[in-house]
Structure 1
Amino acid sequence: MKKLPILALLILILGCAKEQPDLIVKANIKGLKKGTVYLKKIKDTTLVTLDSVIVNGNAEFELVTPLDSPEMYYLFLNKNSNQDEAIAFFADKGITEINTTLKNFVFDAKIKGSAQHSKWEEYKAMISRLNERNLDLIVEKFEAQKSGDTAKLNAIETENNGLLKRKYLYTVNFALNNKDSEVAPYLALTEIYNARINFLDTINKALTPKVKNSKYGKELQIFIDGIKKSNTNKK
């Protein structure tokens, strides 16, 4: 048998090798026997399916997709009912592991993956405390309206405005302190998109070149340019 030249052998090996997907989601949904799981993302304001798997007895599975830039993805579970549930996670190239349960699909989710997801979880932990207080204020406002307590209503309004300001300032500071993460422009676009333009501009100008060139970095620039153009036209 003739020996293959080294170059030809290398080409043969590389040709047979499978190309690794950009993003691999390894998931385990404890208690799931039957159902369909979807990997989705938002494209042009619409949720699109990137991959899916029909689960029939094996609660462990993998989903894959190309990925150009770190982005928010969603793991949707259809339990053969009319109601879908979704786990949101910030993904980058590589492997993301999601472990959860059928009973509490969203709330039991443990996610191990990108550095961006860890940053997003850090942000959510602080914001959740502000959101909880906001929910309390809604209940207090309802009770004050029933009793006609004007003084209480004014106090609630003042505190609510303060909470909103704290959320905006915390988000701006978090984005500035993480200007090298794609989470920064994402938060500007989703959490404080209706903030004053100078807040958004400050975040945008602070982003590192890599982040400015990311999906959310480019979208933030377009969003800010649109606001400035609109403001100019109003003059």
Structure 2
Amino acid sequence: MKNIIPVLALIILLFSCSAKKDGNMIVQGQIKGLKKGKLYLQKMKDTVLVSVDSISLLGSNTFKLTDNVVSPVLYYLTFDGNTTNKRILFFGEPGTITINDNVEQFGINPEINGSKNQEILDKYNLVSKRFQAESLEFIKKDFEAKRNNDQDLITQLEKDYQRLVRRRVLYTTNFALTNADSEVAPYIGLTEMYDASLKLLDTVNNSLTPRIKDSEYGKRFQDYLDKIKANPNN
């Protein structure tokens, strides 16, 4: 009996050390049509993409991945760590996030539930895609006008395109101001307001709530503005 007790204690200790502990964010869901593959949960750390969890799926199309989220940021759900072809980009935050998709169209139109920041970002992306479509149409028309050497049309298209840019910047600014208590606000400030003036960028930054200013994207946005102000001619 004396010999059995230490052995049992060792087994329990080894099991407890090897057992996977859930983080404060659980990402679960189903990938229809998946028969075999490995899913990775990844995020940017500094300037490097790192894997925080992974799961091999053999004969099962359901998954569960976890991470400890200190501040909500964008995460990647990828096949075999490949972020260029098969990937789903979503806003991670504490809680349970459910992602459902299918293998053939993985990442094109996934169903994502459980992330409030993702819901807000989806609303922004819905309108942003319309601006992108209009921009592509302008590029097409400009190409045709230059090929035909139609100077009047080229000039008009340039004016119309600048108006489109201003509309997009104002929409993005207003969206960030409306959602100043969401990590989405500084995120789109960093990624979508590249055409905005310093005044508009400052307006968005000053509208952020203290909690958001202290978030990862809030701090990055502040650093971004500080660099612009330190090098105004760049």
Say whether the fold is shared (TM-score over 0.5): yes
Report the secondary structure of 1:38's partner residue.
Answer: strand
For each residue in 1:13-34, what CA deviation from the matched residue of structure 2 results, as whole angstroms up to 9, or x when unmatched? xx9xx96411111021100111
- Structure 1 residue identity aligned to 2:140: V
Kept in 2, the 8 Å contact 1:101–1:108? The answer is no
| CA displacement 1:4-62 (0-9 Å, x = unmatched) | xxxxxxxxxxx9xx964111110211001112211111122221111111221111011
Q: Structure 1: any 5+ residue segments left out of the alignment?
A: 1-14
Output the amino acid matched with 2:176.
A
Where 1:21 maps in the other structure, the secondary structure is coil
State the distance in 2 between where 1:82 and 1:220 align. 24
How much has 1:207 moved relative to structure 2? 0.7
Residue 195 of structure 1 deviates from its aligned partner by 2.3
Q: In structure 1, what is the Cα distance between the partners aligned to 2:162 and 2:100?
A: 38
SS in 2 for 1:88: strand
1:19–1:61 Cα change, 3 Å: closer
- Residues 51-97 of structure 1: CA deviation (Å, up to 9, x unaligned): 11122111101111111011111111249x99631111112101110
Q: 1:136 to 1:98 in 2, by over 3 A?
A: same
Distance 1:181 1:135 in 2: 30
How far apart, CA to CA, are the structure 2 residues paired with 1:220 and 1:82? 24
Runs of 4+ more than 3 Å apart:
81-84
Contact 2:22–2:67 (8 Å) recurs in 1? no
Q: Tell me, in whole angstroms, the C-alpha distance in 1 between the residues paired with 2:84 and 2:173.
A: 35
8 A contact 2:76–2:83 mirrored in 1: no
Q: State how many pairs are aligned.
A: 217
Instruction: State the partner residue of 1:195.
Output: 196
* 1:184-231 CA distance string (max 9 Å, x none): 011101111452211111111111111111111111111111211223
Give the letter aligned to residue 26 of structure 1.
Q
Q: Please tell me whether the aligned partners of residues 29 and 64 of structure 2 are also in contact (alpha carbons under 8 angstroms).
A: yes
State the partner residue of 1:111. 112
Residues 34 and 57, structure 1, Cα contact 8 Å, conserved in 2: yes
**Distance in 2 between the 1:175 and 1:127 partners?**
13
SS at match of 1:154: helix
Q: Which residue of 2 aligns with 1:5?
A: none
Residue number among 66, 91, 94 corresponding to 2:68 in the alignment:
66
- Paired position in structure 2 for 1:221: 222
1:142-163: per-residue Cα shift (whole Å, max 9, x none)?
Answer: 2222222222222221121111
- Superposed, which structure 2 residues align to 1:82-97 within 5 Å? 84-97=85-98
Distance 1:183 1:39 in 2: 20
Q: Does structure 2 retain, via aligned residues, the 8 Å contact 1:180–1:207?
A: yes
Query: Could you tell me the TM-score, scaled by structure 2's length?
Result: 0.86
Residue of structure 2 in register with 1:76 after alignment: 78
- Whole-angstrom CA distance in 2 between matches of 1:204 and 1:147: 45
Task: Provide the alpha-carbon RMSD of the alignment.
Answer: 2.3
Aligned residue in 1 for 2:32: 30
Structure 2 counterpart of 1:75, one-letter code = L
Counterpart for residue 180 of structure 1: 181
TM-score (structure 1 length as normaliser) = 0.86
Unaligned segments of structure 2, at least 5 residues = 1-15
